[in-house]
Amino acid sequence: MPDAISPSRTVLLPDMRYSDDVQTRYRQRGYWGDEVLSDVVRAWASRHAKRTALLTERDDWDFVTLVARADRFGCHLAARGVSAGEAVILQHRNDTDFIVALLALLLLGAVPVLALPAHQQREVTHVAELATAVCYLGSEHAGIDTVALQAAVPSLCFSLLASPDRRFADWSDDAIGSLPRPAVRPEDIALLLLSGGTTGMPKLIARTHADYIYNFRASAALCAITAEDSYLAALPMAHNFPLGCPGILGTLDRGGSVVVPPSSAAEEAFETIARHRATLTALVPSLAALWLEAAEWERPDLSSMRLVQVGGAKLDAATADQLASKFGCVIQQVFGMAEGLLNFTRLDDPPDLIAATQGRPLCDDDEVRVVDDRGQDVPTGDVGELLVRGPYTIRGYYRATDYNRQAFTPDGFYRSGDRVRRLASGHLIVEGRIKDVINRHGESIAADEIEACLRDHPAVRDAAVFADQLAGYDEAIHAAVISDDATLTLNDVRAFFASLRVAAYKWPDKLSHIRQFPLTPIGKVDKRQLATLLREPAAPNT
Ligand code: OOB
């Protein structure tokens, strides 16, 4: 039984818990088992022993070596006072040290708080405080001022920064022996993911051992991962998608290897794929578009690839088709969220479903509802907000009791904020975000509808629409476009909308050209930043 001594131990608070009968049901149906993540990681060393686990520019390690290094670093952390259940911030770019530190924390039963490399002082301080973290593990790359961080977060006892000549992987000073099995239970918090929204500070998403083990094992089964697979880690590993969908954990669990390119830039990724015969990867659409562009002139050898997953933001059907033909392999759309629910197109889905939908739920017991603004279920095919409850979807954010009242229904469904359509096959099409609307002269206009029209214009490569504040509460439609034609004007766009027979109140009021959209830490269009860049100052409220 876990000791209740440490005041910094992370625990599921009442508004985050699954009820007892739900827990029993998930166990009976086999979604939740008896293992915790330290058992899983420990077993890799014996199950996959001499198989290759990790390939980077510098390392070529088998499972025995990887687990031993993680164990050794875990011993070091334990010697410095980190104990099971305590939160530790991990912020590291994709390399050996990220995986070593992550596995060390899991072996120790400590709770990694997974910050992305692009998170900054403000966000890291906020999550460290919220998680009552006891330690910060990072690298100089992230540029965090650890003195200021420790001054701001009283629970934080120490920080360790890795560098190429002092790696977590080589930490060997006072390390001795091997970590004992930690006193943690399957239903305890295993890791804290950061929410990826573009508004406000990240929230902490507590994933339990049972739920996350299901998450990566079921994803690995769906993607038919075997020991012959080799996963190219292109997206930052601290994000749920490359971490566990099936990502690095799902691949390692099946004895496959993780290959880490020097960066996610197309040339380096292509080179690494060709050299190590990588078989699958996960991309966000913005990165997929860059790789596609580069593939035009690079002519890479991608013949080893069997699966390219794309998710995190909407992938349009044309890009999905181009990806399939350039990579010569199966494309899989993944519509997921750190809060839990994962939708995948299946490997054997017909190409049109793969190109035009964002997949269907991973688990038979994912209860998905699509509701109107009164909370009533809409007919199949109609647009509504996606609500979800299931064996790997959280019931509440960590330490966010007030916010949880609005983010979850009283019966435990997570309100995703995503506007979706569900087809008769169960496949979902993501239409946009419910809050991404512009209130113009009393009409609510969905940004995604206008963006879709803009993308249909032959000169527009991509578009993002946001509200310009007018006097009072009125808003105007501001369209930002990436276009090869710098002469494209607002009037051209409005004439195009007229030709599409779009109601005139939805025509853009303003057009800006931009070379690239600002992106969030994982690579989604960051509309808040975009609006700050392009927005006119609000007119005086007269
Ligand atoms: C993934 O997780 P998060 O937590 O960074 O972001 C979740 C949100 C979703 O609620 C949705 O708004 C959007 O990102 N999203 C998509 C999408 N996948 C995610 N919107 C349209 N199409 C998609 N395919 O982004 C995430 C987590 C696990 C796997 C994949 C993505």
Residues in the chain: 542
Distance CA 50, CA 64 (A): 7
Distance CA 339, CA 320 (A): 25
- What pLDDT does residue 200 have? 73
The 3 state secondary structure assigned to 209-278 is HHHHHHHHHHHHHHCCCCCCCEEECCCCCCCHHHHHCCHHHHHHHCCCEEECCCCCCHHHHHHHHHHHCC
Distance CA 182, CA 190 (A): 12
What is this model's ipTM?
Answer: 1.00
Distance 344 CA to ligand 1 centre (A): 11
In ligand 1, which atom is closest to the CA atom of 334?
Answer: 24
Distance 131 CA to ligand 1 centre (A): 23
Q: Peptide bond before 246: cis, by omega within 30 degrees of 0?
A: yes
Task: For residue range 248-285, list pLDDT tens digits in order.
Answer: 999 999 999 999 999 999 999 999 999 999 999 999 99
Helix segments in 371-441, DSSP class H: 401-407
Chain centroid to CA 396: how far?
Answer: 18
Among 66, 102, 67, 54, smallest CA distance to 259 is for 54
Taking residues 172-200, report their average pLDDT.
85
- Side-chain half-sphere of 101: how many Cα atoms within 13 Å? 30
pLDDT confidence bin for 542, thresholds 50/70/90: very low
- What pLDDT does residue 102 have? 98
Q: Are 341 and 232 in contact (CB under 8 A)?
A: no
Q: Ligand 1 site: residues with CB under 6 angstroms?
A: 196, 240-241, 245, 311-314, 333-338, 342, 358, 416, 418, 430, 433, 522
- What percent of the chain has pLDDT above 90? 87
Cβ neighbours of 209 (radius 10 Å): 26
Pocket test for ligand 1, best of 216, 337, 388, 428 (most atoms within 8 A of CB): 337
- What pLDDT does residue 4 have? 44
Taking residues 212-238, report their average pLDDT.
98
* Residues ≥6 apart with Cβ < 8 Å to 62: 48, 49, 50, 51, 52, 53
Distance 416 CA to ligand 1 centre (A): 10
Task: For residue range 312-355, list pLDDT tens digits in order.
Answer: 999 989 899 999 999 999 999 999 999 999 999 999 999 999 99
Residue 525's identity, in one-letter code, is: V
Nearest-CA residue for atom 16 of ligand 1: 313
First to last CA, the chain: 65
| Strand 414-422, strand 383-389: pairing | antiparallel
Place of tokens 């929230």: 203
Distance 348 CA to ligand 1 centre (A): 22
The answer on pLDDT for 175 being more than 70 is no
Taking residues 206-215, report their average pLDDT.
98
Nearest-CA residue for atom 14 of ligand 1: 312
At 301, is the secondary structure helix, strand, or coil? coil
Nearest-CA residue for atom 9 of ligand 1: 337
Q: Which residues in 12-27 are b (16+ Cβ under 10 Å) and which e?
A: beebbebeeebbeebb
Among 385, 326, 323, smallest CA distance to 354 is for 323
Place of tokens 């991973």: 362
Tokens of 387: 């609500």
Distance CA 293, CA 522 (A): 20
Handedness of CA 162, 165, 167, 171 (dihedral sign): negative
Q: Are 430 and 418 in contact (CB under 8 A)?
A: yes
- What percent of the chain has pLDDT above 70? 96
- What pLDDT does residue 3 have? 43
Distance CA 316, CA 335 (A): 13
Task: For residue range 54-87, list pLDDT tens digits in order.
Answer: 999 999 999 999 999 999 999 999 999 999 999 9
Distance 197 CA to ligand 1 centre (A): 10
Among 355, 479, 375, 484, smallest CA distance to 429 is for 355
Taking residues 117-140, report their average pLDDT.
95
- What pLDDT does residue 171 have? 85
- What pLDDT does residue 198 have? 58
Averaged confidence pLDDT in the chain: 94
Taking residues 277-304, report their average pLDDT.
94
Taking residues 398-427, report their average pLDDT.
96
**If residue 292 lies in a helix (H) or strand (E), which one and from where to where?**
helix 285-298
Q: So what CATH class is 437-535?
A: alpha beta
